[in-house]
Amino acid sequence: MTDTDITEIAKRRRAILSELSEISETPPVLVAVTKTQPDEALEAILADGQRVFGENRVQEAYEHWEARRETIPDLELRLIGPLQSNKSEDAVRLFDVIETIDRPKLCRELAKAEEKTGLERTYLIQVNTGEEPQKAGVSPDGVQDLLATAREHGLNVVGLMCIPPVEEPAGPHFALLAKLARKLGLSQLSMGMSADYDLGARFGATHVRVGSALFGARDYSA
């Protein structure tokens, strides 16, 4: 990664923050998605003041952040990818927020992990707003029951997240997520990514998850 690349990351971050501020009086938190990013990119955006990060995979997140946690106490790490039940303890140990609760078994395993580690984390429910069979997330009709299950297990669920179908306009999906959150009294809405974070902000997102718009095109071979 060249000095130019590092400078561009900071420029793009500031431009996105400015755009979000223009859209909303209370702009959403920018979650920098660091999947597959090299250390140089992480250091560049940390130097520019970014402290909230999203990771898709537990193991890669440990490689990125376990050591940095010791020297950067104000980090907030958010798991934004699907979580296997057998990795619940690892996720609870590292992440402050887990955005991808989507089934009762995962609620049970996360509750066990909290009890074992003595750590209390914050959670969002992932909603499969497009009801796509290949995608993680609970159906919109199942959100209320899953929320009840999570709370029965003592999990602090504060919001919802979604990833709309790529072939459909995102707006109706964001509107649906916001409606569900209002109905259930949940305060956080994680919606909007690199291609549509501005739209997410317009529909009331509290967090937008941005990767390639910050770091450039992602290397999917990593």
pLDDT tens for each residue of 173-200: 999 999 999 999 999 999 999 999 999 9
Torsion over CA: 208, 214, 216, 221 (sign) = negative
How many angstroms separate the CA atoms of 46 and 30, rounded? 13
pLDDT at 5: 78
User: What are the counts of helices (DSSP H) followed by strands (DSSP E) for the chain?
Assistant: 9, 8
pLDDT at 220: 42
pLDDT at 180: 98
pLDDT digits (tens, 9 = 90+) for 56-115: 999 999 999 999 999 999 999 999 999 999 999 999 999 999 999 999 999 999 999 999
Q: Can you tell me which residue has the tokens 């934004």?
A: 80
Burial code (b: 16+ CB inside 10 Å, e: under 16) for 94-121 equals: bbebbbbbbbbebbbbbbebbeeeeeeb
**Position 165: which residue type?**
P
pLDDT band, residue 217 (cuts 50/70/90):
confident
Question: Is 26's pLDDT higher than 80?
Answer: yes
**Which DSSP letter does residue 211 get?**
S
Residue pair 141/180 in contact by the 8 Å Cβ criterion: no
Q: Which domains does the chain have, with CATH numbers?
A: 3-212 (3.20.20.10)
Exposed/middle/buried for residue 146 (C-beta within 10 Å: 0-12, 13-18, 19+): buried
Alpha-carbon torsion, ordered 128, 141, 173, 193, to 10 deg = -30
pLDDT band, residue 4 (cuts 50/70/90):
low
Question: Is 209's pLDDT higher than 60?
Answer: yes
**Which DSSP letter does residue 143 get?**
H
pLDDT band, residue 221 (cuts 50/70/90):
very low
How many angstroms separate the CA atoms of 215 and 33, rounded? 9
